[in-house]
Amino acid sequence: MDLALTTTWNPRGEMARFIRILPELEQKYNDIVIVLPPDAVVGGTEFNVIEKVKRIPGLRVFQTVDWAAGRYTALRRALDTPANHIIYADMDRLLRWYEIRPEEMQIVADRVTEVDCLLVGRSASAYQTHPRALVMTEMISNAVVSHFLGRKVDVSAGCKGFSRRAVEFLMANTTPQRALGTDSEWPILLHRAGFRIDYAEVEGLDWESADRYRQNAADRDSQRLLAQDYDADPEHWAQRVEVALEIIQVALEIQGRPI
């Protein structure tokens, strides 16, 4: 399959899980691009994850100076590969998805090659594993983006697929500024420019943050308990409001920006 995988990875104890699935990822994708932040370490220890990842043969690994440019860099570096189709995924979501629903990943990979942009969202059951702070705030930002695209979509699941020409267009019409704003920026720009966009919902993009510093994907009971703890902190609600606001602000700006 003529498909490259590109990802951003802010490591939180996932190295063993990544090494475990890497051989199969290498069989499925022609190239794998990984973009890391400036200071990724595991649990504050001296072991530097970035250096270990860089030593793995066959990967295209890059380190950003500004983590806000991570997603932009991931797409731009994917153009260094010869692939005609590119799938982007946040690494923490990618690992969980592969561990619990590998068959879905293959279905999505096949669909990516059929369109210019495939937005991959969460099923209703997958969404309900997330803390209420995410569900309630993303409900608003998703509604805004859905309005501009003319169809109901979930754009904040951390996974999107593109044709090469769609990525080339995005690189010519965007700058590395607000990482989370890409959830609205990329699809709205492509929609305005007339690219073919499709949408897929999957079960495997359920709440990934419950997996941090675990050897395997968390089960539903662990997700539920950790989601309750997350919602109990008012600061988390404030953070998620800021995230939704960024996505909405970028959506409004993009809708009026010349292309």
Which DSSP string corresponds to 62-126?
Answer: EE-SSGGGHHHHHHHHHTTS--SEEEEEEHHHHHHHHHH-HHHHHHHHHHHTTSSEEEEEE-HHH
The pLDDT of residue 247: 97
The per-residue pLDDT for 45 is: 46
- The pLDDT of residue 175 is 87
Report pLDDT for 178. Answer: 84
Give residue limits of the domains in the chain: 3-256
Q: What's the pLDDT tens digit per position in 14-62? A: 999 999 999 999 999 999 999 998 876 545 543 577 788 888 999 999 9
Q: For the whole model, what pTM was predicted?
A: 0.93
CATH H-level, domain 3-256: superfamily: Spore Coat Polysaccharide Biosynthesis Protein SpsA; Chain A (3.90.550.10)
pLDDT confidence of residue 149? 97
What are the Cα distances from residue 189, in Å, to 5, 20, 47, 219?
A: 22, 37, 40, 37
85-90 and 31-36: which strand pairing?
unpaired
113 has which bridge partners? none
The pLDDT of residue 136? 98
Q: Which residue stretches of the chain have pLDDT < 70? A: 1, 40-47
